[in-house]
């Protein structure tokens, strides 16, 4: 079977060969391309793969359309057949970019070619990316794959946060000082080492390096997030915003805090889920570091009561005050 790049040789059953050999009537191949024949999973896959590369444009289009429209359980049954050619697996991946069940069946293949992983990471839907993120061992050894996921428009905030955590876990290592066996012992004064558990999280934070702070900001609990959101290093405080466990309540508190940095406010405005929250959006309008065009745009969702409050406010930009007054006048005219 010829493709634009190379030739794939398929060893098919006699049943499939009767549909794919030379001299087979076009109507018979078109019927096979529609997937209406009673074939077993192996033959179904072989026939559709062959016809998806047919020189007849209509047969080719029909076969690909059949693969796309197949129920996930049928595709999974076809994928269960061993020794499928890489080109077949890639075709299935492209036809089911948003189907989690199909992606799971593909990822179960221990010899899955890199071309298929590239398709799933770069073009897969949100559910497929979420499934791919569970294969941490695979991602840990493949930074190119992680970068493809980052560039995928379907990769949301949580997936990018998990990638950040994975990246920091990979950069964490013990110092290479040549000491394979290290034992801790009391100092010469006879004093016992201070119990680490007795230290408060704040005290521990004071002793952490930037890398450790970022890792904890990305993965830590609410108490850790509360500590690191105030860190002077923007990399640390920004990492808190990428923590998958951060709540809307915490984000609202950051948006209401007039000392929150430009970067923290920017990260909030870039998150679609957060700015769906009315209270967060209202807090951003009030915040001095929210860009004026953004604040003005958010004002369109305010209630009349909140617009009136803004029209009298002395704590916001005069531009926002004037816009609030214009909105009230426009409402009165209506």
pLDDT 10s digits, 196-229? 433 578 888 888 899 999 999 999 999 999 999 9
The one-character DSSP state at 10 is: -
- Domain ranges across the chain: 14-155
Percentage of the chain beyond pLDDT 70 is 88
Percentage of the chain beyond pLDDT 90 is 56
pLDDT (average), residues 32-50: 93
Residue 288 pLDDT > 50 = yes
CA 258, 260, 264, 266 dihedral sign is positive
Which range has the worst mean pLDDT, 190-199, 219-228, 274-283?
190-199
Contact of 37 with 73, CB cutoff 8 Å: no
Which range has the worst mean pLDDT, 89-98, 127-136, 164-173, 186-195?
186-195
Nearest to 255 by CA among 229, 218, 220, 223: 229
Helices first, then strands: H and E counts in the chain: 22, 0
Rounded to the nearest 10 degrees, the angle between the axes of helix 41-51 and helix 72-79 is 100
Structure tokens at 315: 């704590």
Residue 247 pLDDT > 80 = yes
Which range has the worst mean pLDDT, 60-74, 95-109, 177-191, 255-269?
177-191
For 60, 235, 302, the CA distances from 238, given in Å and listed in that order, are: 50, 5, 28
Q: Where are the beta strands (DSSP E) in 46-109?
A: none
- Verdict on whether the full-model pTM lies above 0.75: no
Contact of 274 with 282, CB cutoff 8 Å: no
**pLDDT confidence band for 169 (50 / 70 / 90):** low
Residue 181 pLDDT > 50 = no
What's the rounded Cα separation, in Å, for the pair 226 and 249? 12
pLDDT averaged over every residue in the chain: 85
**pLDDT at residue number 11:** 80
Residue 62 pLDDT > 60 = yes
For 247, 294, 330, the CA distances from 199, given in Å and listed in that order, are: 26, 43, 59
Dihedral class, residue 23 (left if φ above 0, else alpha if ψ from -120 to 50, else beta): left
Residue 189 pLDDT > 70 = no
CA 11 to chain centre: 39
pLDDT (average), residues 301-330: 93
What's the rounded Cα separation, in Å, for the pair 26 and 29? 5
**pLDDT confidence band for 122 (50 / 70 / 90):** very high
Residue 28 pLDDT > 70 = yes
Residue 323 pLDDT > 50 = yes
Rounded to the nearest 10 degrees, the angle between the axes of helix 262-270 and helix 278-286 is 150
Residue 311 pLDDT > 80 = yes
Residue 85 pLDDT > 50 = yes
Residue 180 pLDDT > 60 = no
β-pair partners for 108: none
pLDDT (average), residues 235-252: 93
CA 106, 108, 114, 119 dihedral sign is positive
Q: Say whether 209 sits in a helix, a strand or coil.
A: coil
The end-to-end CA distance of the chain, in Å, is 69
What's the rounded Cα separation, in Å, for the pair 110 and 97? 20
Nearest to 280 by CA among 313, 261, 257: 257
Residue 195 pLDDT > 60 = no
pLDDT 10s digits, 140-166? 768 888 899 999 989 888 788 778 777
pLDDT (average), residues 233-253: 92
**pLDDT at residue number 46:** 93
What's the rounded Cα separation, in Å, for the pair 230 and 236? 9
What's the rounded Cα separation, in Å, for the pair 96 and 99? 5
Contact of 101 with 80, CB cutoff 8 Å: no
Q: Say whether 291 sits in a helix, a strand or coil.
A: coil
């Amino acid at each position: 079977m010829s493709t634009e790049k190379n030739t794939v040789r398929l060893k098919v059953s006699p049943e499939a060969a009767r549909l794919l050999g030379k001299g087979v009537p076009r109507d018979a191949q078109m019927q096979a391309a529609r997937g209406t024949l009673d074939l077993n999973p192996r033959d179904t896959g072989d026939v559709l793969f062959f016809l998806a590369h047919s020189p007849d444009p209509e047969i080719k289009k029909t076969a690909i359309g059949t693969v796309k429209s197949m129920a996930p359980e049928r595709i999974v049954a076809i994928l269960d057949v061993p020794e499928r050619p890489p080109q077949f697996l890639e075709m299935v991946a492209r036809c089911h970019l948003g189907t989690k069940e199909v992606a799971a069946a593909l990822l179960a293949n221990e010899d899955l070619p890199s071309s298929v992983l590239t398709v799933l990471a770069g073009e897969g839907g949100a559910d497929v990316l979420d499934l791919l993120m569970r294969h941490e061992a695979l991602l840990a050894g493949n930074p190119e794959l992680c970068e493809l996921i980052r560039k995928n428009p379907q990769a949301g905030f949580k997936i990018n946060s998990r990638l950040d955590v994975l990246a920091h876990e990979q950069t964490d290592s013990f110092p290479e000082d040549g000491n394979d066996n290290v034992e801790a012992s009391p100092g010469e004064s006879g004093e016992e080492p201070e119990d680490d558990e007795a230290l408060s999280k704040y005290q521990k934070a004071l002793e952490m390096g930037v890398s450790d702070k970022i890792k904890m900001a990305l993965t830590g609990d609410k108490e850790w997030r509360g500590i690191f959101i105030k860190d002077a290093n923007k990399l640390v405080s920004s990492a808190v915003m990428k923590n998958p466990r951060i709540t809307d309540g915490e984000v609202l508190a950051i948006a209401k805090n007039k000392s929150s940095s430009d970067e923290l406010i920017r990260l909030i405005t870039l998150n679609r889920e957060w700015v769906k929250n009315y209270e967060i959006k209202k807090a951003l309008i009030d915040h001095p570091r929210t860009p004026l065009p953004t604040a003005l745009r958010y004002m369109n969702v305010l209630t009349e009561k909140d617009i009136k409050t803004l029209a009298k406010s002395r704590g916001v930009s005069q531009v926002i005050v004037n816009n609030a007054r214009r909105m009230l006048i426009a409402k009165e005219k209506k």
